[in-house]
A and B are shown apart, each in its own frame.
Chain A
């Protein structure tokens, strides 16, 4: 066998093993948890057995409560991502391409970025009221910063020679945007989007806990108020699943959009 072929097989063995470990570790944790709960070594009022949480999960799914709350949160998340992400992308491209715009906007971003987004919630409620707009605004703010910052850096790190090529071959300003700045910054932009979506998910849960009558955040908060600990866990697990699925989707989009990366991983 050729050494390189052997290495490739070993490599795929490693990938297999890593995948197995990734599945195994939560399974082991759940079994352990279940055992400890059944033996009453842990307080089941706070840590109900996974089997009992699963029961509540299916019950809430069948009654439609879980789905309607999930759907509400996802809608808010979606609109927030769009409303925060697209302006951030455009602004980031402009900031990356044009020095004066960068000089004007950069201090504003640097100054407001460190403010904890959850601390802005009262202000957002004041401005947008208790309805949908305040939830969407929170997600949008969470999405905005990572996308604008990463896009700016992404454009700035593009080798100058590519812009020379664009000029030499007569690319218009708009064509420079679409054929050089955007694809050249794409790996950075995707990282920004992933961070932004994660931040959005955190913020939607927080926003829904205060002044909302629906959504997963509300479901968790409400379960705490009426001491339905199982429901609380169902809400938490659902958010975790959403996060996992969104990351998988974004990874797949990234893999398709960025050819050089697909090759390496």
Chain B
């Protein structure tokens, strides 16, 4: 068995509120395997984004640590696809996608090669010289994805990358992401509040609870790769997994539904 790619060890994060301490993450410990597409699903405010930001080094945990196993020196440890607009409006699509490589001092030839490849894979080639304000929301997220893949990180973090998109665009981008991911088999930690999205993309899903920021369940997704996003959703097994996750989320969501009638 290969060693885990990412090891979350007793990660705790607390925030000081005016009158009390709020625990966003309550001593989380779990591993993500090499090449695994790991999805964290949970309602808003369950601490999933905080967890990812800690893993990415953008925030410090109150205690505990996140360790990423490096296989190759010189490669960036992680790259993040952020939620919402995160591509620089003052750079062209190409320059945005090349950002990570440029910051690491890659050669022009290498940049042209790799960025060109990912612009092709994301269908952005003909927009290479366009500026972000000329692009749709879906196109912008493609740039963000190309940027993250282009710098060839050890692991990829994705923080609700498709949450601002409409249903159709989201489905198309999910499929594109799976296609690119199938080629690279990178270890991914993907955050979403959509159960659909979690089941569609993930190998393994961690369901988080609202209160206290604890994992509620780990669920293995039994589908083969490569997957077709649309066909997957028509299979009975899909419904079963979907239902199972909802089972774990039911208590969480019930708190949001004062009438108590929906579930």
User: Which residues of A does B touch, CB under 8 Å?
Assistant: 159, 161-162, 164-172, 175, 179-180, 183-184, 186, 258-260, 263
- With the chains together, A22 CA to B131 CA distance in Å? 33
* Minimal Cβ-Cβ distance residue in B for A167: B58
Taken residue by residue from 63 to 91, chain B's Cβ proximity to chain A (1 for < 8 Å, 0 otherwise) reads as: 00000000000001011101011101111
- With the chains together, A170 CA to B104 CA distance in Å? 7
Q: In the complex, which residues of chain B have a beta carbon less than 8 angstroms from the beta carbon of A166?
A: 103
- With the chains together, A184 CA to B88 CA distance in Å? 8
A168 close to B58 (CB less than 8 A)? yes
In the complex, how many angstroms separate the beta carbon of A132 from the nearest chain B beta carbon?
Answer: 38
Interface of B is mostly: loop
B86 close to A260 (CB less than 8 A)? no
Contact partner of B131 (CB less than 8 A), chosen from A162, A164, A170, A259, is: A259
* Minimal Cβ-Cβ distance residue in B for A161: B86
Also in contact, A169 and B85, with CB within 8 A (given A259-B90, A260-B133, A263-B133): no
A183 close to B88 (CB less than 8 A)? yes
Contact partner of B82 (CB less than 8 A), chosen from A164, A175, A180, is: A164
Q: In the complex, which residues of chain A have a beta carbon less than 8 angstroms from the beta carbon of B133?
A: 259-260, 263
In the complex, how many angstroms separate the beta carbon of A183 from the nearest chain B beta carbon?
Answer: 4
Q: Is B151 an interface residue (CB 8 A)?
A: yes
> How many interface residues does B have (CB within 8 Å)?
25
- With the chains together, A164 CA to B88 CA distance in Å? 12
Q: What are 25 sample pairs from A and B whose C-beta atoms fall under 8 A apart?
A: A159-B85, A161-B84, A161-B86, A162-B86, A162-B88, A165-B86, A166-B103, A167-B58, A168-B56, A168-B57, A168-B78, A168-B79, A169-B76, A169-B79, A169-B147, A170-B104, A172-B103, A179-B88, A179-B102, A183-B91, A259-B90, A260-B89, A260-B90, A260-B131, A263-B134
Q: In the complex, which residues of chain B have a beta carbon less than 8 angstroms from the beta carbon of A183?
A: 88, 90-91
- With the chains together, A31 CA to B56 CA distance in Å? 70
A175 close to B103 (CB less than 8 A)? yes
Q: Is B118 an interface residue (CB 8 A)?
A: no
Contact partner of A161 (CB less than 8 A), chosen from B57, B82, B100, B102, is: B82
Taken residue by residue from 133 to 153, chain B's Cβ proximity to chain A (1 for < 8 Å, 0 otherwise) reads as: 110000000000001000100
A170 close to B76 (CB less than 8 A)? yes
B58 close to A164 (CB less than 8 A)? yes
- With the chains together, A166 CA to B103 CA distance in Å? 9
Q: Which of B90, B91, B103 has the most CB of A within 10 A?
A: B90
In the complex, how many angstroms separate the beta carbon of A157 from the nearest chain B beta carbon?
Answer: 13
Q: In the complex, which residues of chain A have a beta carbon less than 8 angstroms from the beta carbon of B91?
A: 183
Q: Is B37 an interface residue (CB 8 A)?
A: no
- With the chains together, A180 CA to B91 CA distance in Å? 10
Q: Is B190 an interface residue (CB 8 A)?
A: no
In the complex, how many angstroms separate the beta carbon of B149 from the nearest chain A beta carbon?
Answer: 12
What are the 3 A-B residue pairs with the smallest beta carbon separation, nearest first?
A183-B90, A169-B100, A259-B131
